[in-house]
Amino acid sequence: MTQPDLFPLPEPNAELRELAAQVPPSIRFGTSTWTYDGWFGDVYHRHYRGPQPANRLEEYVRYPLFRTVGIDSAFYDPPSEEELRSYARALPPGFPCVSKVWDRITAKRLNQEAPQPGLAGMRNPDFLNAALFKDAVLGPYGRVFRDHAGAFVFEFQAMRGKDLPDPLAWADQLDDFFAQLPRDFRYGVELRNPELLTGLHGDVLKRHGVAHVFNSWSEMPSIGEQLDMAWTFPAAFTVARALLKPGRRYADAVKQFQPYDRIQEALPDLRRDLVRLITEAQRRRIEAFILANNRAEGNAPGTIREVMRLWREGDAEST
């Protein structure tokens, strides 16, 4: 960091503090990862050379509306104990993180950039490998990051053709997998195949106390439509990820919204769906992790602010 970065950080503005004071204790807003230069002047006031994730976390946690954070990079490679220790040093005690699970566990088919020689584009031999998950993912978290292990999200990207199982076979696979995992961590499942959003899937989640991860994604029904499904609150907590406008491709959102310094396209339906989710989580008296992504509206902190403003308006009208 440069010399000016040694000066004290400014206090958050009054409106942010006021909004944060009205967030219910069981609702944890955060963002899907956090190393964006476009957030300078809002979340960040120091200048960083490169991602510097641990250093940025020290500022991230000062933002009044943030009570969780998504460790999305864990999808590509599980963080080492050294990385997790650096994060832990930056976080307040008990600050929970929502970590995506290594795609070596969740990918039915390896992508073309797969590091395993000769396996690019092939069926993944470690799909739903519980032993590998416990060793490579849970092991480091359990040893050095347990105080911050809020939930693990198993993101199953869209399966096509012969890779897509029927709902019964899928439920059986998932049932066998979660039966092998320890129950002292929290898990959530995020699907990208609408065909698998069935009661059979929900029954498996409920049996193992695993959350359904509400997601706004290109090929998925809206979060509101997912809320209307009878089984989508199978656990004593829930997770929502506001990722994309349904129907929009990820690459198109990246091109449209970079550098993510402001909201560029408001999504009123998405905001209302998240307010509904907050209301339902409160009614059920469960904890809700709500993560916003820059690719939804252009600026994740702004999305969270607008959702909270909308919730506050509705709450004021009901009193």
C-alpha 280, offset from chain centre: 19
* CATH code of the region 3-318: 3.20.20.410
- Six token digits for residue 244: 């994309």
Q: 122 falls in which pLDDT band (50, 70, 90)?
A: confident
Beta bridge partners of 27: 288
User: Per residue in 299-308, pLDDT tens?
Assistant: 999 999 999 9
Concatenate the DSSP letters of all residues of 266-280 into one string: --HHHHHHHHHHHHH
User: Per residue in 237-289, pLDDT tens?
Assistant: 999 999 999 999 999 999 999 999 999 999 999 999 999 999 999 999 999 99
User: Per residue in 128-168, pLDDT tens?
Assistant: 999 999 999 999 999 999 999 999 999 999 999 999 999 99
Please state the domain extents for the chain: 3-318
Concatenate the DSSP letters of all residues of 187-240 into one string: EEEEES-GGG-SHHHHHHHHHHTPEEEEEE-TTSPPHHHHHTSTTS--SSEEEE
